[in-house]
Amino acid sequence: MGSHIEDEYRSIMTGDGSPTLSLPPTWELMHADEGAFTERQYLYQPLVEKAFEAVPEPVFLSLGLGLGYNELLIAFEALERGRKPALIASYETAGFLKDAFAAWLRGAPVALTPVYDQITALYAVRYAQAPAAAKSFLLDLMQSDRFRLLGPIETGEPSAAHGILFDAFSPKTCPQLWTSEFLDVFFDRAAATPCFVSTHACNGKLKRALKKNGFTITIQDGFGRKWESLWAQRNLIRGETMKAISEFRKPDFAIDALFYERWSPRVFNGEEIPDEVLNKLFEAARWAPSCFNEQPWRFLYAKRGSEDWNLFLGALVEMNQAWAGSASVLIACVSKKTFTRNGKPNGTHSFDAGAAWQNLALQAHLLGWAAHGMAGVQYEKAAADLNITEDFKVEMMIAVGRTEDLQGKEWTPSGRNTVESFITKGKWDK
Ligand SMILES: Cc1cc2nc3c(=O)[nH]c(=O)nc-3n(C[C@H](O)[C@H](O)[C@H](O)COP(=O)(O)O)c2cc1C
């Protein structure tokens, strides 16, 4: 049923009456032959919806422009919601597809015009919107640099995206996109938080790269003959818990949600924390400010299941041991009491260590993890067991883990005093 248009590509009609292409040399179909349009909806519509729900102006990254199915989907979803993405970045190896789509948006006749028109018409019916509206929406985005048609992903620096439409060809056709080296770095650079990823592909390297970068993976039914598809998300907080927090915690003044969505759970799922995540937590701590830039903080840690784990857990008071045992890593935050430069007492060593701990906790939250600070520590035992010397103070311990949804469990997020209650303009009244 395929029709040969040029040597560069063949246009094929798929099972639901929507077109796809196949490109040389493998002639692999760009979309499912059971139905390109239906497949796009199946794989990517939930992702586009989630991204628009999660952030006011999401960034989308599409790996493969193909026939513009993904970009048109985003445009129609945006129109329906009266919203605009901050950016759609589409990476495409086949230069003629980029040129043809851009030319079509500008209204120039191209060989693929009937194909693009047909796809747009299908979406227009589905969304009850005028085809021309989506076309001019994308053109506006392109002219304001909010829709970028880019070359192969391997050569670019991806933007931090909230929605990644991982629409790569198979490892056979595009082996360079399926190496661990590429995937690990790609998700590190390309994913913002929150971020949603959807793809028809689910191989081990992809799953490992997503896990390393803090994603939770769900394997779903595949479309058509495909067995499986993959959904991954890196949320600030998951599902019900997120809802509970946003219902309970409302800032009086508009600030970044990071500050009031961070919280201290007492239920963790014990999953292994990758070194990549742990290193990022310490990196965030590293950049805290401190008096004379002394950086008096020190962190000792033990991962769950490691040799020192029981030593760290045993240093907590019993009440904390009861729940912190389900964490992925326990960290002791220690600070140096004197300045290294002159040996004199440092009056702000605890204060500075506090800034470092807060950086760590916020970074954990941004990566979809949670850090819970504990002063319920057997301090003398901790200092002795962890070999902390006299010049250092054990400040607190920190349990880091991934929290499960707390649906059905007793939990109310903590509130806060009003700003008014701790602010005074000028001096205190006598
Ligand atoms: C220095 C410090 C010590 C804490 N000690 C404990 C502790 O020993 N056990 C515990 O369950 N929570 C402890 N917490 C957590 C606090 O109870 C929690 O941060 C506070 O109630 C605010 O809630 P939120 O972090 O969820 O916003 C501690 C927090 C800090 C910053």
What are the residue boundaries of the structural domains of the chain, listed by start? 3-235, 266-401
Q: 103 CA distance to ligand 1 centroid (A)?
A: 57
Q: What is the pLDDT of residue 244?
A: 66
pLDDT of residue 238: 52
Ligand 1, pocket residues at CB < 6 Å: 263-264, 266, 320, 372-376, 396, 414
Does the reported pTM lie above 0.85?
Answer: no
β-strand pairing of 19-23 with 28-29: antiparallel
- C-alpha triplet 187, 188, 194: angle, nearest 5°: 75
Amino acid (1-letter code) at residue 126: R
Beta-strand ranges (E) seen in 99-215 are 147-150, 161-165, 191-199
| The residue type at 305 | G
Q: How far apart are CA 332 and CA 335, in angstroms?
A: 10
Who's near 144: CB < 8 A, 6+ residues apart? none
Q: Best of 237, 264, 297, 406 to mutate for ligand 1, by most ligand atoms within 8 A of CB?
A: 264
Residue with CA nearest ligand 1 atom 4: 374
* Ligand 1 atom at minimal distance to the Cα of residue 377: 8
165: which 2 tokens? 């439409």
Domain 3-235: give its CATH code: 3.40.50.150
Q: To which CATH superfamily is domain 266-401 assigned?
A: NADH Oxidase (3.40.109.10)
Give, using CA atoms, the residue closest to atom 24 of ligand 1: 263
Atom of ligand 1 nearest to the CA of 357: 31
Instruction: Look up residue 312 and give its two tokens.
Output: 């760290």
Distance between CA 411 and CA 145 in Å, rounded? 45
Q: What is the pLDDT of residue 409?
A: 52
**CA-CA distance, 46 to 48, in Å (whole number)?**
6
Residues of the chain with pLDDT under 50: 1-4, 407-408, 410
> Measured from the CA of 413, which atom of ligand 1 is nearest?
26
pLDDT tens figures, 203-220? 899 999 998 887 888 898
CA distance 282 to 295: 13
Block residue for tokens 């193909």: 66
| Residue owning tokens 């759970």 | 265
Q: Return the pLDDT at 3.
A: 43
Segment (H or E) for 394 = strand 392-401
